[in-house]
Amino acid sequence: MKQIDGITPKTTESPMPGMPMPAAEKLPRMSSGKKGRPRKVESRPYEGLFEASLKLDDGPTMWRITDLRAKVSGGDRTWTERAQCLVCGTKID
């Protein structure tokens, strides 16, 4: 028995011998917390909008990118960018 105020005894509830303890109910866990529209596995929103070719002949390795979008105004339609390693990010010569 426990005494709360020092005068009144309080009985504690304990399971009866031989009775199984009730299993604690677990709530389903939310996966990752990301919200919004899920991406499709084959989603490629850029497909058909740009074209890229790898230039290996003069100087460092470069990507030549061409913008194929018709309704975009301003800026260059073709530009180059240095090629980088996809694993470590270093520039490829």
pLDDT tens digit string along 4-43? 666 766 666 666 666 666 666 666 666 666 788 777 767 7
Query: pTM of this prediction?
Result: 0.48
Does residue 65 lie in a domain region? yes
Structural domain span for residue 58: 47-70+77-93
62-81 as b/e: b if 16+ CB within 10 A: beeeeeeeeeeeeeeeeeee
In a domain, 83, yes or no: yes
Domain-embedded: residue 4: no
**Number of domains making up the chain:** 1
Across the beta sheet with 62-67, the strand order is 50-55, 62-67, 78-82
Report if residue 33 sits inside a domain.
no
